[in-house]
Amino acid sequence: MSDRSREPSYRSLPPGELAERARELAARLEDCDLCPRLCRVDRTADELGTCGIGRQAVVASLGPHFGEERPLVGSRGSGTVFFSGCNLGCVFCQNDDISHRVRGRRVGPETLAAVFLEVQEMGCHNLNLVTPTHVAPPIVEALAVAARLGLRLPIVWNCGGYESLEVLEVLDGVVDVYMPDFKVWDPEVATRLFDAADYPETAREAIAEMHRQVGDLEIDASGVARRGVLLRHLALPNGLAGTPEVARFMASLSRQTYFNLMDQYRPCHDAFMTPGLERPLSFDEWREALAQTRAAGLERLD
């Protein structure tokens, strides 16, 4: 199956629909409620909320990435566009240089569209939007421009799982692959690690909506993902992530969920000062997390 054997979802939308979706999202910026933080700042005037980003997106880096999951990387790499800022602010963030600080180039819709087309020209299999939640309006504005100019890459929404259902509904038919994190299960842990007690419930609702939209991960004959949900879960020391509960929840959506249980936790950012996170994950903890994930009945583990 070739890369063009199945068109990305947004290519099937009626003419003008992407631009209308962009306007709908942009209207939320004036009293920003793009994510569950509900900062209510006027980002059209460059007022800043939790994410630290005003009206325009800030691109920190772009290019082929060969360290992502196998169905995204394929033979030519996943076309990542890393956005600066974040709506979560995890104490253990491994990208804190761009997520907790604003670094990069402020871009308008035409320039961001050119970035997307540049990624396509690099030969990447997909357009992997990293930390996109807080910049959904400029992303969809840029997609409307880029699609007119020939963009055909599937869209990967590479997010932290802290999403607004209303925004996800606007993205229905735009995003091909949702790749959320499910970070922690316990509200008290979520409060300690990123000051969001509602994170577990919000992530459950958001991931269920993602699955409703795109279903289980579909991989073509060349081994490249075309559509569906790819779930990431980082095992944390001292069982803080709630791995067995997360795995059972994902199995309740579908035992065919593509579940990447990640073992690379190491203390970063403020984790050294956070009780329970000041050391790397041990081998025994990793082995236990893997056993717990398998026990949940998930059949597609990475």
> How far apart, in whole angstroms, are the C-alpha atoms of residue 53 and residue 38?
14
- pTM over 0.85? The answer is yes
Q: Is residue 43 part of a domain?
A: yes
Residue 252 corresponds to which tokens in the numbers above? 């309740």
Residues sharing a CB contact under 8 Å with residue 268, sequence separation 6 or more, in sequence order: 92, 93, 94, 96
Q: Is residue 284 part of a domain?
A: yes
123-178: per-residue pLDDT in tens? Answer: 999 999 999 999 999 999 999 999 999 999 999 999 999 999 999 999 999 999 99
Q: Is residue 4 part of a domain?
A: no
Q: Is residue 3 part of a domain?
A: no
Q: Is residue 236 part of a domain?
A: yes
Q: Is residue 277 part of a domain?
A: yes
Give the three-class secondary structure for 69. coil
Total of domains in the chain: 1
Structural domain boundaries enclosing 160: 9-301
> How far apart, in whole angstroms, are the C-alpha atoms of residue 153 and residue 147?
9
Residue 84 contacts residue 62 (beta carbons within 8 Å): no
**What's 180's domain CATH number?**
3.20.20.70
Q: Is residue 85 part of a domain?
A: yes
Q: Is residue 130 part of a domain?
A: yes
pLDDT band with cut points at 50, 70 and 90 for residue 101 = confident
Place of tokens 């169905």: 71
| Helices and strands: H and E segment counts in the chain | 10, 10
Output the pLDDT for position 100.
84
> How far apart, in whole angstroms, are the C-alpha atoms of residue 97 and residue 264?
18
Give the three-class secondary structure for 273. helix
Q: For all residues of the chain together, what is the average pLDDT?
A: 95
Helix residue ranges, H only, the chain:
17-26, 70-73, 96-99, 109-121, 136-148, 165-171, 187-194, 199-214, 243-253, 283-295
The answer on pLDDT for 201 being more than 60 is yes
Instruction: Tell me the mean pLDDT in the region 264-273.
Output: 90
The answer on pLDDT for 111 being more than 70 is yes
